[in-house]
Structure formats: structure tokens, C-alpha cells
Amino acid sequence: MKAKRNWMALLAGLTMIGVWPSAALAQGVAVSPVAPRRELVESVVREAYDRFRSDTGGKNADYIPYLAQVDSKLFGVAVVSTDNHVFTLGDINYSFSIQSISKVFTLALAMEGLGPDNVFQRIGSEPTGRAFNSVVAVVDMPTHTANPLVNAGAIATTSLISGKNEKEKWNKILDFYGRVAGEKLALIEEVYRSEAATNAGNKALAMLLAKYERIYADPFESVDIYTRQCSVGVNAIQLARMGATMANNGVNPATGEQVIKREDIPYILASMTMAGLYDSSGYWAWHVGLPAKSGVGGGIVAVAPGKGAIAVFAPRLDEAGNSVKAQKVIEYVARKLNYNLYSPSSVGLK
Ligand code: DON
């Protein structure tokens, strides 16, 4: 920890006096070619925040009644680097429901228990090209489950979590999310009640999966646990830290705990690339080039492997169910910082 802090201080100092990493290397100081430059990250994120703060595009999700009531002007941005630098702007203490972003972490937990090959066989990783809650996709896709990040595949992934009863499975999931976030997380009861009262569609998906033998526990129990996991509250900092844990090979940068197996990280990031923004994932890969995950609560987290993560919360969504403002901020920041993974310059090549 101490060494890391010293290293960052050194890097910050070098940046201020205009000495580049190559000069530092010549003096025998090990500086990662992909290390985030704190001042640059902060100024670009601030620029993005100011540029998009008055954007009013999109509208709150309303198929879950609670979400329609959330103040649509809320706007928070948090960046957490792999060496645990935190930078925040706006409404960063507001606890919003994690919604579909939870799917990423239940996937990680399922792989922890069963291994990635087993999870891949039972769920798959193909994008659907359809809405996140599509019934047609379940019928059409050869795997039926499609991938762990659409509702059907996510409910099936939740059904893979072991435990002697529903309570034990749910506690295991909640505890795991807390370790990824670096602090205990809690259910937002009102969101859970609102969603549980209106989730006939997810129950239908689960029963359809049962017909194809692609759900691995009681379908309604699985939907209930899934609904709870979607109702977990996070603020932008906690969400950014969850992303930074993935950027940091599964080690939480704040607690130092290896929470997610390092060998599972590439599978998780690959799934996020294929389906993290549902039927906008192709747009996202083309324009941004970072694995990310959205939720209808208004959050999006994007992961820059080795560097860190950015989480943005803004409730207004586009047609695909992705926060409009969050997409704009992340796209701007990723472009300005050359973070697109498919760009050779993202790994320091000129
Ligand atoms: O099951 C649902 O419909 C919600 N709990 C989650 C959907 C979601 O977040 C889709 N995201 N963009």
C-alpha cells in the first residue's frame, strides 16, 4: 500500500514538472505504460461533466413504478483507479438501484462456484440483437439463455448460485457484491417491492427457460433472487469501485482482497463487450471500445483494464434502456483519454 502511494505521488510529481514516464524509466523507476495520469483524467472528466450536465435527452424507466419517481436531474460521476485514487463530481452519495449491472457480479459468483466452462455451457455468450427482456430471443436463440446479461440469461445465471435455501443464496450474492464494492451494500426495499409487484415478464421468461431446461433451480425462486439483486443500492463511488475491481484483475483496490478470480475477468469483460449495453452494444464497441454495463436505474460502469473504472449515474434512458448522459460522459472521456481497447495507443503504442 505504502509503496503504491509513494509511486502515485512520484508519478503526480513527474507529471507536474513535465517529466514523462520514459525519462523516469531511464532513471530506473518502474512506471506502467498504461498508468492513469491523475491530473489528465480529472480535467477530462470535469470537462465531460460540464459539457453534458444540462442534457435532458431520454426519460426515466417507468415499467418499474419506483424508477419513474426518481429525480431525473440527478447526475453523479465517479472514477476509481486501480491504485485506488478516487475522483468524483455531482450527486455521488445518492444510492440508486444497481439493476442490470448486478448481472455482471452474479456471473462472477457463478463462475467462482462452477468454473467458466460450465457457466459458458449452461448460459452462453451470444448477443441477441433484441431488447434486454425479449421473449422472442429466448425462443429463437439456440441456447435460449443467450448470455448472462440479458434478463433470461441473467435469471438462469442466478439459478446457478448454490445454497441450501433462497435466503442463503441471496445472502451469498449480497455479501459478494459488498466485497466487490469494498463495503457492505443493502437492498432498497421499496425498489424490490415495486419491481416484485410488476415482474410478470421476468416470470414468463423463467418459465419459458424451464420448458427448454435452461434454468437450474426453481424458476420463481430464481426470479425473486434476481429481483432482489437488481434492487441493491449503490452510489456512483461504490459502482466505480466495483468496476475498478474488475480493472484490477479481480483485486479490490481499496481493500486489497482478491474478490473475483483473476482468470475469470476476461470472460466477464468479454460478456460485457458483447451485451453490456444490450442492443446498443455494437454501437458502444464501435464508438467507445470499453467493456461496460448499464442498468435501468440509470447507472453505467465502464472498465479500462489495468487503469480503472468510471461510473456515471443519470436516470434518463434511451430506447435500449441505457442512461443517455452516462453514455455521453463515458464516450467523451474514453475518446479523450485514448482508452478504446481496440486502439493500439490504449496500451502505450504511438
Ligand atoms: O429485470 C429487469 O427488467 C430489471 N430489474 C433490470 C433491467 C435492466 O436494468 C436493463 N438495463 N438496462
**What's the mean pLDDT in 81-85?**
94
| Pocket lining: 132 vs ligand 1, CB cutoff 6 Å | yes
Residue among 280, 296, 319, 327 whose CB has most ligand 1 atoms within 8 A, to mutate: 296
- What pLDDT score does 27 carry? 38
pLDDT above 60: residue 330? yes
35 pLDDT band (50/70/90 cuts)? low
Give me the pLDDT at residue 346, please.
82
- Indicate if the pLDDT at residue 81 is higher than 80: yes
Question: Would you state the pLDDT for residue 29?
Answer: 39
Pick the residue whose CA is nearest to atom 4 on ligand 1.
99
Residue with CA closest to ligand 1 atom 7: 100
Q: Is the pLDDT of residue 316 over 90?
A: yes
Q: What is the pLDDT of residue 233?
A: 98
Using the predicted structure, report yes or no on whether residue 241 has a pLDDT greater than 80. yes
Instruction: Give the closest residue (by CA) to ligand 1 atom 1.
Output: 151
Asked if pLDDT for residue 348 goes beyond 90, the answer is: no
Q: What is the mean pLDDT of residues 334-344?
A: 93
pLDDT digits (tens, 9 = 90+) for 97-122: 999 999 999 999 999 999 999 999 99
> In the prediction, which pLDDT does 345 show?
84
Reported as a single tens digit per residue, the pLDDT across 36-65 is: 578 899 999 999 999 999 999 999 999 999
Q: What is the pLDDT of residue 266?
A: 98
Rounded distance, CA 341 to CA 155, Å?
29
From 297, 295, 300, select the one nearest 328 (Cα to Cα). 300
Ligand 1, atom nearest to 277 Cα:
12
- What angle separates helix 166-181 from helix 236-247, to the nearest 10 degrees? 80
Burial class (CB in 10 A: 0-12, 13-18, 19+), 302: buried
Separation of 339 CA from ligand 1 center, angstroms? Answer: 27
Which positions ≥6 away from 37 have C-beta within 8 Å?
A: 11, 15
Comparing 29-43, 177-191, 218-232, which segment has the lowest mean pLDDT?
29-43
Residue 245 has pLDDT above 50, yes or no: yes
Is the CB of 97 inside a 6 Å radius of any atom of ligand 1?
Answer: no
Question: Could you report the per-residue pLDDT of 279-313, keeping only the tens digit for each?
Answer: 999 999 999 999 999 999 999 999 999 999 999 99
Res 223 pLDDT > 70: yes
Determine phi and psi for 317, rounding to 5 degrees: -110, 160
Q: What b/e sequence results for 120-135 when a residue is b if at least 16 CB atoms lie within 10 Å of its CB, and e otherwise?
A: bebbbbbbbebbbbbe
Q: What is the pLDDT of residue 349?
A: 83
Residue 14: pLDDT band by 50, 70, 90 thresholds?
very low
Model confidence at 10, in pLDDT bands (50, 70, 90)?
very low
The SS3 of residue 294 is strand
